[in-house]
Amino acid sequence: MVNDQRPAPRPNGFGSAAEPYTAAGPRPDARHDPAPSPEAPVEFSFVSPQGVTHRVRATFGPDRPRLVRPPALARPVRFEDGWQGFQVRLPREAGADREAYALLQAEITAALALHRAYAGTRFGGLFPTPVGYDVNTLTPFVLYAVPRGRPLSGPAERVSLAEQRAVERDLVLAVRLMEAVGLVHRGIVPGAVRRDAQGVQVWDLGSVVRAGCPRVPYGIPPYASPEQRAGVGTTEARDALWSVAQLMYHLVTGRPGSPDGPPADLAAQRSVAETLGPVFARQAADRPTPDALLRTLVPEIAAEAAGALLPDPMERHRREFDEIRRRKRASFAPPPPPAHTPYVPAPEPPGLPNGRGADGPPGYGEAPPFTGYEYPVRERGRLRTWISGGRTSGTNEPGGSRPEGDTRR
């Protein structure tokens, strides 16, 4: 049996994290693209989050439209041993779309980072459970465990205050946990959030970027923050909090909010205004941080989440490496030029003209006498001539070369 070396998840109120797939005797082999037929079992392989290659036979269901962000497609998958999952892939016709390929790579990177940080904790169910991936095929894909619940983009339904607080808590907690590993979700929209009786699960990890990277125009109003849609500044977790506030307003009222600030009737929606009112600020600097907001909403969960955010054991070594690299780059910098000292000619000794003293040897006040053996100063080598585009002789003589038969060095 192949052990994925992951602790068993504990029961929790945030939704249980699905178990990853394990198979007996995986056979590393060349990977093949699964056939598009939804009926017949096909053989394909994938790489698990632990780096183990699995080769299985599986049956794929039909594509489900509007389940993932286009041009990606999503379909259910069932392995021969009975395990069921969910595949997100790029179709072959989207293979030349570099932006779509980059989004899928970002999704795989974010899914693995969150899985390695929170798998086995009570917070693992807030995010999809990656089972495998493969980007070296004609149809690159990522394989997940079966998603929980249904998207919030479904038919509008009345939610109780307790349900509203549970969804609110889970979304703010998800933003805080992603911030702890340096990630920001730019696509928290109703279709990317699934909900069931146990809580929410945040999908569309292809919209996740590293915190601190320059913003680019991304997202749709009103769920994307104003600065995110404008593409100004750098990405931070308070961008995702804006999306959470807009999604909660949509969940409570059944209609979208204002794309540029607080909704006009926010005061009338007391259940949203009391907890998320400051998050509707137009500027990110005026919104609370995810940690401060979580401590206001559920202090006990904020403290528990802080305990789950274990320090990175390699952080000290990374800082040392960055410092060594900084010093090395500084040593490559050219030294500053010396301060300029103006030239002051030495005074001529008293005596006869041209510096000839009365009792000393003859001197030359201006220039030595011409002997006939002088020649112009040579430039130093051909490299300087080639760079400057001059003559190739390496001399200053007219014509670019010395007279024939001249053997002077």
Listed in sequence order, the DSSP H helices in 254-349 are 270-276, 290-297, 299-308, 315-332
CA-CA distance, 284 to 243, in Å (whole number)? 12
Q: Rounded to an integer, what distance in angstroms lies between the CA atom of residue 84 and that of residue 35?
A: 18
| H or E, element range at 245 | helix 237-253
Length of the chain: 409
Which residue is listed with tokens 């990317």?
192
Q: Give the separation between CA 62 and CA 142, rounded to whole angstroms.
A: 16
Average pLDDT for the chain: 77
Looking at residue 68, what is its pLDDT? 83
pLDDT category of residue 17 using cuts at 50, 70 and 90: low
Structure tokens at 193: 């959030």
CB 358 within 8 A of CB 352: yes
pLDDT of residue 306: 77
- Contact (CB, 8 A) for 33 and 137: yes
Residues 29, 55 contacting (CB under 8 angstroms): yes
What does the block give as tokens for 38?
């939804």
Burial level of 303, CB count in 10 A (0-12/13-18/19+)?
exposed
272 near 185, Cβ under 8 Å?
no
pLDDT of residue 338: 66
Q: Is the pLDDT of residue 303 over 60?
A: yes
Q: How far apart are CA 252 and CA 272, in angstroms?
A: 8
Preceding amide of 222 cis, omega within 30: yes
Mean pLDDT of the 69-88 span: 89
Q: Token digits for 216? A: 């680019």
Instruction: Tell me whether residue 262 is exposed, middle or buried, using C-beta atoms within 10 angstroms of its C-beta: 0 to 12, 13 to 18, 19 or more.
Output: buried
> Does residue 150 surpass a pLDDT of 50?
yes
Dig out the tokens for 150 from the structure: 């249904």
Could you give the CA distance from residue 355 to residue 142 in angstroms, rounded to a whole number?
90
Taking the chain, what is the end-to-end CA distance rounded to the nearest angstrom? 79
Per-residue pLDDT at 217: 93
Instruction: List pLDDT tens digits, range 307-353.
Output: 766 555 565 666 677 778 778 877 776 766 666 666 666 666 665 55
DSSP E strands in 262-363: the ranges are none
**What is the rounded distance in angstroms from the CA atom of residue 329 to the CA atom of residue 318?**
16
Does the pLDDT value for residue 402 go beyond 60?
A: no
Cα–Cα distance, 247 to 249 (Å, whole number): 5
Distance of CA 70 to the CA centre of its chain: 20
pLDDT at position 32 is: 43
Q: What is the pLDDT of residues 54-74, one digit of tens each?
A: 999 999 999 887 778 888 899
Residue in this structure with the two tokens 């096909």, named with its chain if needed? 42
pLDDT tens sequence across 215-255? 999 988 999 999 999 999 999 999 999 999 999 999 998 88
Q: Identify the weakest region by mean pLDDT among 28-32, 64-68, 106-110.
A: 28-32
Q: Is the pLDDT of residue 155 over 50?
A: yes
- At residue 16 the predicted structure's pLDDT band, cuts being 50, 70 and 90, is low
**Which residues on adjacent β-strands are paired with residue 96?**
none
